[in-house]
């Protein structure tokens, strides 16, 4: 493998790194990334606080729209909800409670933010996870089909088709799927996460949820499919020109073996990077899809939090999302380090 | 009142016949009601407080009116337009200082405790008067509630209060809360505000945030053989396009409050098995108004306000924005109100030339660029129609040389800009006419409203004549004399234009034709649905 000298490997006189070394490297990577994440989270918290502060009107104004009330009542509400101090005082109070791992109380739900967020998180994770799996698996598979013979008819067809799909807005795709599969064919349920108050449990319930997720996952996943497809295809087109592919051919390897073992495998690495980057993008896309399909997830919750000017809730959501994105990227880094020994070696030694 | 006047109800019912002509037979032939079944209703929002005694608004009533009942409900047939609920009779005294309610016997709360006059006294004094958005106005002079026995409540007022007003306020303002649940607690923060306990035909079963509300049949309901439904599910569908799809896919049985956008009605009315109903909102009339900031020098000039009124083509607004599902307005009382409306007010016909002439007269000639002055226009974000009217008004004002800068805010920002900071010149608002001008209409023009109160006079308008008229009507006991004062009120408002009334609209219900007894009272969407049933 790598020709560079490295302490542990040399002492043991091994020409490749043992498993324990690789684990160590991964652990150090995790530690470094987590430490690096702290300032990111702080910036996220302060940034979103300031943004909400800049929006006209606060939680009491949002509430007064339905309730009315005179100045005295409004002032009393501001005090009760802790909105009467200066922005700086409120921010420091919030950061102080955050330091104690307390995400605070949601104004709109009158419940702890963490409870509200954790209630919605599984739905979003399920939606995002399934959509990511769909777009990654289908995208890279079709990318291999397209990239196995760059410039062929099926390559052109798949590339153009995926681009067209990518250009379609998510909500429109969702609406079209609804019209076809729910309104016309009646194959799939329209919206929600599961059949309301159905009393189903276990496998029956899992199946029910899966049926409800088909359309939202398809509308969200198809959008990102094109990215993976095109990336896979472009990567493969490049690898085809490499010397080792030529060498493989010279050795008389079968075409399918070259495509799968040599070309596709080497083109896969950038896709893993993309996977990490897309996790953030998908959180954004899920706001629209969650509203359209009435899925109680984080995206819709964030939208409601903005409308109600529920600062603690919104920051809680953003914080949890940021942690999610950081975690996904960390996993991607680890996967990357596993796939390509060159990556992270220098960092882990430091 | 004149008999030749075309009633709004008649017109709307006519429209319903046209729209639902294919599905009419099920309307006409009475069927034997069947017990049981589930009704699934589309809901577009989840109010943060579900207590109708504190937040008297239609968004809250839509769910909670099935759980918590008022003293009386609006009715098409009943005397004074009312039918009894928790009160069986009501009587005002000669001097206007007391009202006696006889209460229904044998009623129990959902937790099994008996309902008594103490609950009514508690609700009136501790909740409606101090905490409720509308009760603060109507019950401001309520001094005490005597409870001579368990089924009699006597309201005592410090100042003579018209019985007519109290009567008209019964459906929307008098949701009765259980004293034993609320007494001694912080009423505004009581957990029952989000899981209401009432006497209604349905009990509050569960709320899964972002998904649904479930109401279950109250087996101990006082109504004979009521309710008919086993349960009502409110499915939260935030996307308006989804509501129409859900009806077509038979996942939802009913969508009220125009949850199906007006533009989709034509198409959906042709779908077999779906009815479009325009009845059932007669006592929930929304008014499209232009709020005016009188602190602005140009707008303080009556001629300018008249010019703006002449610049608006009300017929066009009704036809294009409301697709015909509205009526043009002449003043602060909608045409469909049988008690108070008068057509005898100054009118402002659509006349661009006249508007231009008035602006010239007022001393604001067109500049070299054809512009006179510019205004900040803030349409309320609550309805598609208010936003669309904002866009229309900008164009209409441009026709007479007034540049309007359109500022679109979300709810919280609009509330602060218009009602707290008064940072607007013109605003578009959708206040509700609730059957009596004194409930939520006179405060739109009366002076002295504290800052921050939505749907009140925040435009700095002050007219001693109108204030005096409102004050006089508030203590005039004779219904006829009081109605006359409100005729005068309408004339004065139309004459001086503290605000401009453009159109009045009700909502549309779209339901599957298996749902029966839909829209059988003038506040149907926010009534208790005890007699609603589904055909299986």
Are A300 and B251 in contact (CB < 8 Å)? Answer: no
- Looking at CA atoms only, how far is residue A75 from chain B in angstroms? 10
CA distance A291 to A295: 7
pLDDT of A266 above 70: yes
Least confident of A19-23, A248-252, B413-417: A19-23
Query: What residues form DSSP beta bridges with B463?
Result: none
Average pLDDT of span B102-120: 95
Which band of pLDDT confidence, cut at 50, 70 and 90, is reported for residue A80? confident
- Looking at CA atoms only, how far is residue B22 from chain A in angstroms? 21
Strands B373-379 and B402-406: parallel
Residues 332-391 of B with CB under 8 A from A: 382
CA A62 centroid distance within chain: 30
What confidence tens digit (pLDDT) does each residue in B469-491 have? 999 998 899 999 999 999 999 99
Which band of pLDDT confidence, cut at 50, 70 and 90, is reported for residue B397? very high
pTM: 0.83
Q: Dihedral sign for Cα B132, B138, B139, B141, please.
A: positive
| Cβ neighbours of A295 in B, within 8 Å | 210
Query: What residues form DSSP beta bridges with B89?
Result: B102
Tell which wins on pLDDT, A1 or A254. A254
pLDDT of A42 above 60: yes
Are A65 and B194 in contact (CB < 8 Å)? Answer: no
CA distance B328 to B314: 6
Q: What is the pLDDT of residue A254?
A: 82
What confidence tens digit (pLDDT) does each residue in A84-134 have? 888 888 888 888 888 888 888 888 888 889 998 998 888 888 888 898 889
| Cβ neighbours of B48 in A, within 8 Å | 63, 108-110, 308
Average pLDDT of span B152-179: 94
Residue B525: partners with Cβ closer than 8 Å, 6 or more residues away:
B58, B62, B256, B257, B280, B281, B284, B507, B509
pLDDT of A2 above 50: no
- Decide if A175 touches B, using CB distance below 8 A: yes
In this structure, the number of other CB atoms found within 10 A of the CB of residue B194 comes to: 18
CA distance B248 to B476: 52
Please state whether B303 falls in left (phi above 0), alpha (psi between -120 and 50) or beta.
Answer: alpha
- Decide if A293 touches B, using CB distance below 8 A: yes
What confidence tens digit (pLDDT) does each residue in B17-58 have? 444 444 444 444 556 888 889 999 999 888 888 999 998 888
Least confident of A241-255, B210-224, B399-413: A241-255
- Looking at CA atoms only, how far is residue B116 from chain A in angstroms? 28
CA distance A313 to A117: 8
Backbone angles phi, psi at B342, to 5 degrees: -130, 140
Residue A100: partners with Cβ closer than 8 Å, 6 or more residues away:
none
Percent of chain B with pLDDT over 70: 94
Chain B residue with minimum CA distance to A289: B239
In this structure, the number of other CB atoms found within 10 A of the CB of residue B343 comes to: 12
DSSP for B258-320? T-S-HHHHHHHTTSTTEEEE--S-TTSEEEEEEEE-TTSTTTTSHHHHHHHHHH--HHHIIII
Q: What is the pLDDT of residue A306?
A: 87
CA distance A190 to B251: 7
| Cβ neighbours of B211 in A, within 8 Å | 192-193, 196, 294, 296
Average pLDDT of span A191-205: 78
- Decide if A243 touches B, using CB distance below 8 A: no
- Decide if B536 touches A, using CB distance below 8 A: no
| Cβ neighbours of A109 in B, within 8 Å | 48, 209
Are B412 and A56 in contact (CB < 8 Å)? Answer: yes
pLDDT of B5 above 50: no
The two three-digit tokens of residue A148, written as one number: 């196995």
Percent of chain A with pLDDT over 90: 0
- Looking at CA atoms only, how far is residue A215 from chain B in angstroms? 13
Average pLDDT of span A141-162: 84
pLDDT of B373 above 70: yes
Least confident of A16-25, A91-100, B402-411, B467-476: A16-25
pLDDT winner (highest mean) among A144-158, A199-213, A245-259, B108-122: B108-122
Structure ipTM: 0.77
Which band of pLDDT confidence, cut at 50, 70 and 90, is reported for residue B9? very low
List of long-range contacts for A5-14, beta carbons under 8 Å, 24+ apart: A6/A345, A6/A349
Chain B residue with minimum CA distance to A292: B239
Q: What is the pLDDT of residue B503?
A: 96
pLDDT of B85 above 80: yes
Q: How many interchain CB pairs under 8 A, A with B?
A: 146
- Decide if B211 touches A, using CB distance below 8 A: yes
CA torsion, ordered B423, B428, B429, B430, to nearest 10 deg: -170
The two three-digit tokens of residue B331, written as one number: 């003043």
- DSSP designation for B506: -
Are B409 and A108 in contact (CB < 8 Å)? Answer: no
Q: What is the pLDDT of residue A341?
A: 67
Q: What is the pLDDT of residue A244?
A: 84
- Decide if B214 touches A, using CB distance below 8 A: yes
Which band of pLDDT confidence, cut at 50, 70 and 90, is reported for residue B328? very high
Q: What is the pLDDT of residue B11?
A: 44
Is B502:B427 a contact under the CB 8 Å cutoff? no
| Helix %, strand %, coil % of chain B (to 5) | 35, 20, 45
Average pLDDT of span B265-288: 90
Which band of pLDDT confidence, cut at 50, 70 and 90, is reported for residue B452? confident
Query: What residues form DSSP beta bridges with B533?
Result: B516
Q: What are the Cα distances from residue B224, in Å, to A28, B34, B102, B220, B228?
A: 73, 14, 19, 10, 10
Which band of pLDDT confidence, cut at 50, 70 and 90, is reported for residue A69? low
Q: What is the pLDDT of residue A17?
A: 56
Q: What is the pLDDT of residue B204?
A: 96
For all residues of chain A together, what is the average pLDDT? 80
How many CA within 13 A on the CB side of residue A106?
23
Which band of pLDDT confidence, cut at 50, 70 and 90, is reported for residue B302? very high
- Looking at CA atoms only, how far is residue B2 from chain A in angstroms? 36
Are B420 and A190 in contact (CB < 8 Å)? Answer: no
| Cβ neighbours of B417 in A, within 8 Å | 56-57
Are B189 and A110 in contact (CB < 8 Å)? Answer: yes
Query: What residues form DSSP beta bridges with A105?
Result: A112
| Cβ neighbours of B212 in A, within 8 Å | 192, 196-197
Q: What is the pLDDT of residue B169?
A: 93
Are B55 and A308 in contact (CB < 8 Å)? Answer: no
Which band of pLDDT confidence, cut at 50, 70 and 90, is reported for residue A343? low
Average pLDDT of span A182-189: 83
Chain A residue with minimum CA distance to B60: A66
Chain A residue with minimum CA distance to B137: A69
Chain A residue with minimum CA distance to B423: A56
Backbone angles phi, psi at B505, to 5 degrees: -140, 150
Are B416 and A69 in contact (CB < 8 Å)? Answer: no
| Cβ neighbours of B246 in A, within 8 Å | 190-191
Average pLDDT of span A285-293: 83
Are B245 and A178 in contact (CB < 8 Å)? Answer: yes
Q: What is the pLDDT of residue B389?
A: 96
Chain A residue with minimum CA distance to B56: A67
Least confident of A30-34, A227-231, B122-126, B216-220: A30-34
- In chain B the domains, ranked by start, together with CATH numbers, are 38-49+200-282+508-534 (3.40.190.10), 72-182 (3.90.76.10), 285-505 (3.10.105.10)
Test the A interface: residue of B140, B416, B421, B423 with most A CBs within 10 Å: B416
Q: State yes or no: cis peptide before A180, omega within 30 of 0.
A: no
Backbone angles phi, psi at B295, to 5 degrees: -75, -20
Strands B87-92 and B231-236: unpaired
Test the B interface: residue of A197, A286, A301 with most B CBs within 10 Å: A197
Are A71 and B415 in contact (CB < 8 Å)? Answer: no
pLDDT of A5 above 50: no
Q: Pick from B246, B412, B419: which is nearest to A191 by CB?
A: B246
């Amino acid at each position: 493998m790598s020709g560079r000298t490295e302490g542990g490997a040399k002492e043991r006189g091994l020409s490749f790194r043992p498993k324990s070394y690789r684990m160590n490297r991964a652990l150090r990577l995790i530690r470094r990334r987590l430490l690096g994440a702290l300032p990111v989270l702080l910036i996220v918290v302060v940034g979103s606080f300031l943004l909400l502060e800049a929006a006209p009107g606060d939680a009491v104004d949002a509430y007064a729209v339905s309730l009315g009330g005179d100045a005295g009542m409004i002032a009393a509400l501001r005090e009760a909800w802790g909105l009467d101090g200066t922005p700086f005082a409120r921010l420091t109070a919030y950061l102080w409670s955050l330091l104690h791992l307390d995400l605070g109380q949601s104004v709109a739900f009158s419940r702890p933010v963490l409870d509200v967020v954790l209630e919605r998180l599984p739905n979003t994770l399920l939606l995002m996870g399934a959509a990511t799996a769909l777009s990654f698996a289908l995208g890279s598979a079709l990318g291999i089909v397209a990239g196995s013979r760059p410039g062929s008819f099926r390559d052109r067809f798949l590339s153009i088709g995926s681009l067209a799909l990518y250009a379609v807005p998510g909500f429109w795709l969702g609406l079209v799927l609804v019209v076809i599969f729910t309104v016309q064919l009646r194959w799939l349920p329209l919206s929600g996460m599961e059949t309301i108050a159905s009393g189903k449990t276990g496998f029956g319930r899992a199946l029910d949820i899966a049926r409800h997720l088909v359309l939202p996952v398809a509308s969200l996943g198809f959008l990102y499919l094109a990215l993976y497809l095109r990336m896979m295809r472009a990567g493969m087109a490049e690898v085809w020109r490499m010397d080792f592919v030529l060498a493989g051919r010279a050795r008389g390897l079968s075409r399918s073996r070259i495509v799968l073992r040599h070309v596709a495998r080497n083109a896969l690495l950038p896709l893993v990077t993309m996977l990490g980057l897309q996790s953030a993008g998908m959180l954004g896309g899920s706001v629209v899809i969650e509203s359209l399909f009435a899925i109680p997830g984080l995206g819709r919750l964030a939208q409601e939090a903005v409308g109600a000017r529920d600062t603690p809730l919104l920051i809680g959501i953003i914080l949890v999302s940021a942690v999610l994105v950081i975690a996904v990227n960390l996993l991607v880094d680890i996967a990357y380090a596993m796939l390509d020994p060159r990556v992270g070696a220098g960092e882990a030694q430091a | 009142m004149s008999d030749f006047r075309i009633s709004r109800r008649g017109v709307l019912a006519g429209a319903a016949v046209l729209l639902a002509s294919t599905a009419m037979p099920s309307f006409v032939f009475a069927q034997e009601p069947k017990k049981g079944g589930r009704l699934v209703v589309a809901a577009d929002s989840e109010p943060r407080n579900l207590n109708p005694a504190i937040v008297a608004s239609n968004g809250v009533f839509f769910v909670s009116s099935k759980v918590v009942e008022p003293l009386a409900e609006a009715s098409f047939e009943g005397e004074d337009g009312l039918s009894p609920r928790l009160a069986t009779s009501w009587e005002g005294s000669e001097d206007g200082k007391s009202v006696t309610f006889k209460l229904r016997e044998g009623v129990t709360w959902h937790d099994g405790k008996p309902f008594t006059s103490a609950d009514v006294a508690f609700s009136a004094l501790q909740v409606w008067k101090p905490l409720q958005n509308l009760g603060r106005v109507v019950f401001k002079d309520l001094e005490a509630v005597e409870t001579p026995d368990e089924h009699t409540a006597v309201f005592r007022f410090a100042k003579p209060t018209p019985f007519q007003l109290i009567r008209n306020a019964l459906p929307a303002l008098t949701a009765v809360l259980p004293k034993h649940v609320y007494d001694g607690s912080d009423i505004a923060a009581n957990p029952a505000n989000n899981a209401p306990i009432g006497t209604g035909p349905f009990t509050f079963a569960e709320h899964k945030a972002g998904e649904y509300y479930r109401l279950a049949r109250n087996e101990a309901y006082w109504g004979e053989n009521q309710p008919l439904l086993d349960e009502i599910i409110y499915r939260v569908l935030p996307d308006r396009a989804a509501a129409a799809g859900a009806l077509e896919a038979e996942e939802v049985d009913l969508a009220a409050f125009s949850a199906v956008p007006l533009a989709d009605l034509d198409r959906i009315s042709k779908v077999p098995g779906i009815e479009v109903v325009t009845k059932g909102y007669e006592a929930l009339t929304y008014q499209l108004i232009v709020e005016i900031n009188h602190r602005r020098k140009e707008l303080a000039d009556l001629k300018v306000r008249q010019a703006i009124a002449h610049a608006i083509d009300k017929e066009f607004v009704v036809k294009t924005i409301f697709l015909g599902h509205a009526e043009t307005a002449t003043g602060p009382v909608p045409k469909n109100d049988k008690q108070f409306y008068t057509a005898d007010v100054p009118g402002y016909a659509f006349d661009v030339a006249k508007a231009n002439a008035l602006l010239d007269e007022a001393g604001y000639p067109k500049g070299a660029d054809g512009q006179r002055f510019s205004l900040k226009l803030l349409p309320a974000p609550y309805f598609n129609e208010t936003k669309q009217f904002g866009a229309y008004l900008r164009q209409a004002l441009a026709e007479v040389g007034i540049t309007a800068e359109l500022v679109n805010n979300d709810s919280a920002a609009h509330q602060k800009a218009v009602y707290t900071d008064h940072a607007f010149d013109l605003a578009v608002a959708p206040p509700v006419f609730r059957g009596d001008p004194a409930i939520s209409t006179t405060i739109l023009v009366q002076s002295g409203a504290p800052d921050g109160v939505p749907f009140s006079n925040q435009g700095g308008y002050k007219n001693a004549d109108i204030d005096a008229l409102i004050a006089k009507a508030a203590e005039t006991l004779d219904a006829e004399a009081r109605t006359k004062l409100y005729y005068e009120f309408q004339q004065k408002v139309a004459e001086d234009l503290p605000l401009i009334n453009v159109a009045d609209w009700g909502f549309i219900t779209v339901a599957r034709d298996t749902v029966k007894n839909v829209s059988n009272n003038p506040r149907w969407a926010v009534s208790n649905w005890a007699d609603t049933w589904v055909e299986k």
